[in-house]
Amino acid sequence: MSSTTAFGIDIGGSGIKGAPVDLKAGELATDRLRIPTPQPSTPDAVAETVRELIESFDIAAGVPVGVPFPAVIQHGVAKTAANVDHSWIGTDVDALFTERTGHDVFVVNDADAAGIAEMEFGAGRDAKGVVLMTTLGTGVGTALFVDGHLVPNTELGHIPLHGDSAEKYMAESVREREELDWSQWAERLQEYYSLIEFLFNPDLIIVGGGVSKHHKKYLPELDLRAPIVPAELRNEAGIIGAAVLARHAEDETRAAAGGNGRKKSGLAADKAQAKLEKSAKKGDKKADKKARKNDKKAEKKTEKNSAKKSTSKD
Ligand code: BGC
């Protein structure tokens, strides 16, 4: 596969879906495959399913894999678990999946991934200034861009509203659970987006998540200063965005290791740096182990020699 390809995997509550992504066209290169999410969805069980999924495709060894994940992801490590098994907190997801699959895996917050895809290929394509992507689903995810640069892990779905995380008041899952009609839900969205607008003054707001396909039922009811538009990539945004990021990060890692190639900034560069540091640490550990082995050998040799000497003296 060429460097215009990467693999994307979406980890959902009920299914894990993956497909190769055509990074030029900004779409899946083939149909995606879906495997039910193991229950409980612990890191180990999910890593196994991810391995199985990747192995079902005939993808070349060097193809990087991008994984959108619904948590704060800092340098590959999950720091929160609002809507996933709590055993993920503290897990180095990059390292776990990379080790299990044999591919370079780059994990990124799911809303950040969807935002990257919208900025490259969708509703944010020509947008300048401050753009806020929001995903309305089980929880509410956000991705904030300033002149095309991502500010990762913004987590604005958790800003306080009515004394709790905003997502507990206005997520799509809340609309379903409380059987709100579209207007009732739009009122809650109005409160939320007004607060967002007060805090960040975005130039553009993009609304993603499955419910964005019904945008005509609630977006026209909102009265905001910034234009608020539906996402264009819909379901595949996370997979596509994570694949874009994985390819950038992989190219960056190679360029840094080989000392040539183009420079990229932002999250991809940050992830590439983290990966290099990790592999350097791994290398250090190996070297330490070797040195300890050699020391032991040398010690044994000296012991033997002095034993020989003392026997010959006796
Ligand atoms: C999580 C975010 C995630 C969002 C959408 C929130 O509950 O805290 O990390 O992006 O849900 O899945």
- Asked if the model's pLDDT at residue 186 lies above 90, the reply is yes
pLDDT of residue 257: 79
Q: Please give the share of the chain, as a percent, with pLDDT higher than 70.
A: 83
Report the distance separating Cα 134 and Cα 155, nearest Å. 10
pLDDT of residue 12: 87
CATH number of 5-110: 3.30.420.40
Q: How is the chain split into domains, by residue range?
A: 5-110, 126-231
C-alpha 5 – ligand 1 centre gap (Å): 27
Average pLDDT over residues 182-210: 98
As given in the structure block, the two tokens for residue 106 are: 């780059």
* 220 phi and psi angles, rounded to 5 deg: -65, -20
The dihedral built from the CA positions of residue 17, 19, 23 and 28, taken in this order, carries a sign that is negative
CA-wise closest residue to 267 among 94, 128, 102 = 94
pLDDT of residue 294: 62
Of all protein residues, whose CA lies closest to atom 5 belonging to ligand 1? 141
pLDDT of residue 268: 75
pLDDT of residue 158: 98
- Any ligand 1 atom below 6 A from CB of 142: no
SS (H, E, C) 174-212: HHHHCCCCHHHHHHHHHHHHHHHHHHHCCCEEEEECHHH
pLDDT of residue 312: 42
pLDDT of residue 295: 61
Q: Higher confidence at residue 12 or residue 120?
A: 120
> Which parts of the chain fold into alpha helices (H)?
43-55, 93-101, 110-121, 167-170, 172-177, 182-200, 237-258, 267-313
C-alpha 83 – ligand 1 centre gap (Å): 7
Query: Quick count: other Cβ atoms within 10 Å of Cβ 275?
Result: 24
pLDDT tens per residue, range 198-213 = 999 999 999 999 999 9
pLDDT tens per residue, range 28-76 = 999 999 999 999 999 999 999 999 999 999 889 889 999 999 999 999 9
Report the distance separating Cα 30 and Cα 39, nearest Å. 27
* pLDDT class of 262 with cuts at 50, 70, 90: very low
Asked if domains 5-110 and 126-231 share a fold, the reply is: yes
pLDDT of residue 304: 59
| Atom number of ligand 1 nearest to Cα 153 | 9
Of all protein residues, whose CA lies closest to atom 4 belonging to ligand 1? 141
Report the distance separating Cα 96 and Cα 46, nearest Å. 10
- Any ligand 1 atom below 6 A from CB of 135: yes
- Any ligand 1 atom below 6 A from CB of 68: no
* pLDDT class of 265 with cuts at 50, 70, 90: very low
Residue with tokens 């987006």: 193
As given in the structure block, the two tokens for residue 82 are: 């609002």
pTM of the model: 0.85
Q: Higher confidence at residue 91 or residue 305?
A: 91
- As a residue count, the chain comes to 314
C-alpha 27 – ligand 1 centre gap (Å): 23
Query: Quick count: other Cβ atoms within 10 Å of Cβ 68?
Result: 30
Average pLDDT over residues 89-117: 97
pLDDT of residue 235: 84
pLDDT of residue 66: 97
As given in the structure block, the two tokens for residue 10 are: 């979406």
pLDDT of residue 314: 38
pLDDT of residue 184: 98
Q: Are 258 and 237 in contact (CB under 8 A)?
A: no
User: Is 126-231 a domain of CATH 3.30.420.40?
Assistant: yes
- Any ligand 1 atom below 6 A from CB of 83: yes
